[in-house]
A and B are shown apart, each in its own frame.
Chain A
Amino acid sequence: TQLLEQSPQFLSIQEGENLTVYCNSSSVFSSLQWYRQEPGEGPVLLVTVVTGGEVKKLKRLTFQFGDARKDSSLHITAAQTGDTGLYLCAGGGDSGGSNYKLTFGKGTLLTVNP
């Protein structure tokens, strides 16, 4: 069974602080995606990374895919209250050859306090 471990599970910080969320797996994925989900809504895609060592920036968010394509991190600079939500990582194209599903981590619930 392919597993993605996310840490921390919960994170509560003050507005303006920086934070990093981690996503680790013992297996290789051909791509890794990060989503943000707000209560009562479906996940919204933030970024897709496909190349080992790849770094992508989305305003104050920086995403990194590990060289071995087994792990990823999401760094938020100067967090804002609007960043509050559940952050999910999802791996696609697992070693079993399945390209038609995403394997999700359990998520990091981020609360940014004013």
Chain B
Amino acid sequence: KAGVTQTPRYLIKTRGQQVTLSCSPISGHRSVSWYQQTPGQGLQFLFEYFSETQRNKGNFPGRFSGRQFSNSRSEMNVSTLELGDSALYLCASSLVGWSGTEAFFGQGTRLTVV
């Protein structure tokens, strides 16, 4: 069974640009969550999607957005990049998203903003 696939693995962008990250969940999983990981703040929840609907959103500015497609694949977009957006962005998939079930993480996308 293939795991969670995130692309690209590494990305370097300039301040002010925008970026789109992609996540393909495990086959059959309908819930996809996104997290930002930084050394200072740890893992912080961005948003969660289930069947193309955003069910929960973390405390991030509107520059951070996401969507989910009918095949459960998800993308997140960050517009007008800032230096502080440099982080490891992690995607997690689970069957239905109930917190008591197992969530599988991808390897992440390392975003560097210069």
A residues near B (Cβ < 8 Å) are 30-31, 33, 35, 40-45, 48, 50, 88, 90-93, 98-107
Residue of B with least CB distance to A103: B45
Whether A41 contacts B45 in the complex (CB less than 8 A), given A31-B100, A100-B33, comes out as no
Assess A40 versus B100: contact at CB under 8 Å? Given A100-B31, A101-B58: no
Residue among B55, B58, B90 making CB contact with A43, cutoff 8 Å: B90
> Which A residues touch B43, using CB under 8 A?
43, 88, 90, 102, 104
A43 to chain B, nearest CB (A): 5
Would B105 and A100 count as touching, CB distance under 8 A? no
B50: which of A33, A93, A100 is its contact (CB, 8 Å)?
A100
Contacts of B98 in A (CB 8 A): 92-93, 99-100
**Smallest distance from the beta carbon of A33 to chain B beta carbons, Å?**
8
CB distance from B50 to the nearest CB of A (A): 7
Contact B100 A42 (CB under 8 A): no
Which A residues touch B44, using CB under 8 A? 104
A30-B99, A45-B104 as given contacts; A105 in contact with B42, CB under 8 Å: yes
Check if B50 sits within 8 Å of A48, measured CB to CB: no
Given contacts A42-B90, A45-B103, A93-B100, contact A102 B33 (CB under 8 A): yes
Which residue on chain B has the smallest CB distance to residue A98? B56
Q: Is B66 an interface residue (CB 8 A)?
A: no
Q: Which residue of A lies closest to B102 (CB)?
A: A45
Q: Which 3 A-B pairs have the closest CB atoms?
A: A92-B99, A42-B105, A106-B42
B contact residues around A90 at 8 Å (CB): 43
